[in-house]
Amino acid sequence: MIRDEIQHVALGMQVNYQGLFNYNDLMSMIDSWLRRNGYTKKVESHNEVVKDSGRNINLRLRPFKKAKSNKLEIQLWVNITDMTDAEKKMDNLTLRMQKGKVNIVMDCFVLYDMRGKWEARAEYTFIRTIFDKYLFKSKSKDYEGQVKADAIELKNEIASFLNLNKFLF
Protein backbone atom coordinates (compact mmCIF):
# COMPACT_ATOMS: atom_id res chain seq x y z
CA MET A 1 0.00 0.00 0.00
CA ILE A 2 1.36 3.41 -0.95
CA ARG A 3 1.00 6.02 1.76
CA ASP A 4 1.88 9.67 1.92
CA GLU A 5 4.04 10.89 4.76
CA ILE A 6 2.28 13.66 6.68
CA GLN A 7 4.38 16.36 8.33
CA HIS A 8 2.36 18.52 10.71
CA VAL A 9 3.76 22.04 10.57
CA ALA A 10 1.47 24.11 12.81
CA LEU A 11 -1.53 22.99 14.80
CA GLY A 12 -4.28 24.87 16.60
CA MET A 13 -3.87 28.44 15.32
CA GLN A 14 -7.08 30.20 16.34
CA VAL A 15 -9.15 33.24 15.54
CA ASN A 16 -11.94 34.09 18.00
CA TYR A 17 -14.50 36.83 17.47
CA GLN A 18 -17.83 37.82 18.94
CA GLY A 19 -20.06 40.50 17.51
CA LEU A 20 -21.38 41.75 14.18
CA PHE A 21 -20.05 40.32 10.92
CA ASN A 22 -21.27 39.35 7.47
CA TYR A 23 -21.14 35.58 6.96
CA ASN A 24 -21.25 35.75 3.15
CA ASP A 25 -18.46 38.34 3.07
CA LEU A 26 -16.35 36.22 5.43
CA MET A 27 -16.68 33.15 3.22
CA SER A 28 -16.04 35.23 0.08
CA MET A 29 -12.91 36.69 1.64
CA ILE A 30 -11.59 33.22 2.52
CA ASP A 31 -12.40 31.92 -0.99
CA SER A 32 -10.70 34.84 -2.71
CA TRP A 33 -7.60 34.49 -0.51
CA LEU A 34 -7.38 30.79 -1.37
CA ARG A 35 -7.70 31.46 -5.11
CA ARG A 36 -5.22 34.35 -4.98
CA ASN A 37 -2.62 32.12 -3.28
CA GLY A 38 -3.08 29.10 -5.55
CA TYR A 39 -5.08 26.83 -3.22
CA THR A 40 -7.88 24.57 -4.40
CA LYS A 41 -10.81 24.69 -2.02
CA LYS A 42 -12.13 21.38 -0.72
CA VAL A 43 -15.15 21.26 1.61
CA GLU A 44 -14.91 18.22 3.89
CA SER A 45 -18.11 18.86 5.84
CA HIS A 46 -20.76 21.54 6.29
CA ASN A 47 -23.38 21.27 9.02
CA GLU A 48 -25.96 23.85 10.00
CA VAL A 49 -28.31 23.52 12.98
CA VAL A 50 -31.09 26.00 13.75
CA LYS A 51 -31.86 26.49 17.45
CA ASP A 52 -33.86 29.01 19.47
CA SER A 53 -30.67 30.93 20.28
CA GLY A 54 -29.65 31.12 16.61
CA ARG A 55 -27.94 29.10 13.91
CA ASN A 56 -24.86 27.01 14.56
CA ILE A 57 -22.61 26.42 11.56
CA ASN A 58 -19.76 23.91 11.55
CA LEU A 59 -17.64 23.96 8.42
CA ARG A 60 -14.47 22.01 7.70
CA LEU A 61 -12.37 23.18 4.76
CA ARG A 62 -9.23 21.47 3.56
CA PRO A 63 -7.71 23.59 0.79
CA PHE A 64 -4.56 22.28 -0.85
CA LYS A 65 -1.83 23.38 -3.21
CA LYS A 66 0.40 21.08 -5.25
CA ALA A 67 4.16 21.55 -4.97
CA LYS A 68 5.98 19.10 -7.25
CA SER A 69 4.96 15.65 -5.97
CA ASN A 70 3.98 17.05 -2.56
CA LYS A 71 0.78 18.65 -1.33
CA LEU A 72 0.54 21.68 0.97
CA GLU A 73 -2.67 21.72 3.01
CA ILE A 74 -4.35 24.13 5.39
CA GLN A 75 -7.23 22.74 7.37
CA LEU A 76 -9.85 25.20 8.60
CA TRP A 77 -12.47 24.39 11.23
CA VAL A 78 -15.04 27.22 11.11
CA ASN A 79 -17.48 27.12 14.04
CA ILE A 80 -20.11 29.83 14.30
CA THR A 81 -22.51 29.65 17.24
CA ASP A 82 -25.65 31.58 18.11
CA MET A 83 -25.67 33.37 14.74
CA THR A 84 -28.69 35.62 14.32
CA ASP A 85 -29.58 38.13 11.64
CA ALA A 86 -29.23 41.80 12.51
CA GLU A 87 -29.78 45.05 10.65
CA LYS A 88 -27.45 47.98 11.09
CA LYS A 89 -28.10 51.50 9.81
CA MET A 90 -25.11 53.34 8.47
CA ASP A 91 -25.21 56.54 6.41
CA ASN A 92 -28.91 56.15 5.55
CA LEU A 93 -28.31 52.57 4.40
CA THR A 94 -29.63 49.46 6.09
CA LEU A 95 -27.04 46.68 6.12
CA ARG A 96 -28.00 43.06 6.73
CA MET A 97 -25.44 41.54 9.06
CA GLN A 98 -25.11 38.57 11.35
CA LYS A 99 -24.31 38.54 15.04
CA GLY A 100 -22.69 35.63 16.84
CA LYS A 101 -19.53 33.91 18.01
CA VAL A 102 -16.93 32.89 15.46
CA ASN A 103 -14.15 30.41 16.22
CA ILE A 104 -11.76 29.38 13.45
CA VAL A 105 -9.05 26.80 14.12
CA MET A 106 -6.34 26.23 11.53
CA ASP A 107 -3.85 23.42 11.07
CA CYS A 108 -1.29 23.23 8.31
CA PHE A 109 0.75 20.32 7.08
CA VAL A 110 2.65 18.91 4.12
CA LEU A 111 1.89 15.55 2.52
CA TYR A 112 5.09 14.12 1.11
CA ASP A 113 4.42 11.74 -1.73
CA MET A 114 7.15 9.19 -1.33
CA ARG A 115 5.30 6.57 -3.41
CA GLY A 116 6.24 3.97 -0.81
CA LYS A 117 9.87 3.82 -1.91
CA TRP A 118 11.35 4.70 1.49
CA GLU A 119 8.94 2.63 3.57
CA ALA A 120 9.77 -0.57 1.66
CA ARG A 121 12.49 -1.57 4.11
CA ALA A 122 13.55 -0.41 7.54
CA GLU A 123 17.11 0.22 6.35
CA TYR A 124 15.88 2.70 3.74
CA THR A 125 13.90 4.60 6.34
CA PHE A 126 16.98 4.83 8.57
CA ILE A 127 19.21 5.98 5.69
CA ARG A 128 16.69 8.60 4.58
CA THR A 129 16.42 9.94 8.12
CA ILE A 130 20.21 10.27 8.39
CA PHE A 131 20.43 12.01 5.00
CA ASP A 132 17.59 14.42 5.76
CA LYS A 133 18.82 15.23 9.22
CA TYR A 134 22.59 15.51 8.87
CA LEU A 135 23.85 15.43 5.30
CA PHE A 136 21.57 17.35 2.96
CA LYS A 137 19.31 20.30 3.38
CA SER A 138 16.10 18.89 2.02
CA LYS A 139 13.45 20.82 0.16
CA SER A 140 10.96 19.70 2.79
CA LYS A 141 11.83 22.63 5.06
CA ASP A 142 11.01 25.02 2.21
CA TYR A 143 7.55 23.49 1.81
CA GLU A 144 6.95 23.54 5.55
CA GLY A 145 7.94 27.19 5.74
CA GLN A 146 5.76 28.07 2.77
CA VAL A 147 2.61 26.40 4.12
CA LYS A 148 3.18 27.88 7.59
CA ALA A 149 3.64 31.37 6.14
CA ASP A 150 0.45 30.92 4.08
CA ALA A 151 -1.51 29.75 7.14
CA ILE A 152 -0.29 32.67 9.25
CA GLU A 153 -1.16 35.11 6.47
CA LEU A 154 -4.67 33.62 6.15
CA LYS A 155 -5.15 33.72 9.93
CA ASN A 156 -4.12 37.38 10.05
CA GLU A 157 -6.36 38.21 7.09
CA ILE A 158 -9.40 36.60 8.77
CA ALA A 159 -8.65 38.27 12.11
CA SER A 160 -8.26 41.67 10.42
CA PHE A 161 -11.50 41.22 8.49
CA LEU A 162 -13.48 40.32 11.62
CA ASN A 163 -11.88 42.98 13.82
CA LEU A 164 -12.63 45.63 11.22
CA ASN A 165 -16.32 45.09 11.96
CA LYS A 166 -15.75 46.15 15.58
CA PHE A 167 -14.65 49.58 14.42
CA LEU A 168 -17.19 50.03 11.65
CA PHE A 169 -20.29 49.04 13.57
- State what percent of residues in the chain have pLDDT above 90: 59
Q: What angle do CA 144, 145, 149 make, to 5 degrees?
A: 120
* Chain segment 92-149, per-residue pLDDT in tens: 888 899 999 999 999 999 887 655 555 566 777 777 777 766 766 555 568 888 999 9
| Cα Rg of the chain, angstroms | 20
pTM listed for this prediction: 0.80
* Chain segment 56-100, per-residue pLDDT in tens: 999 999 999 988 778 899 999 999 999 999 998 878 888 899 999
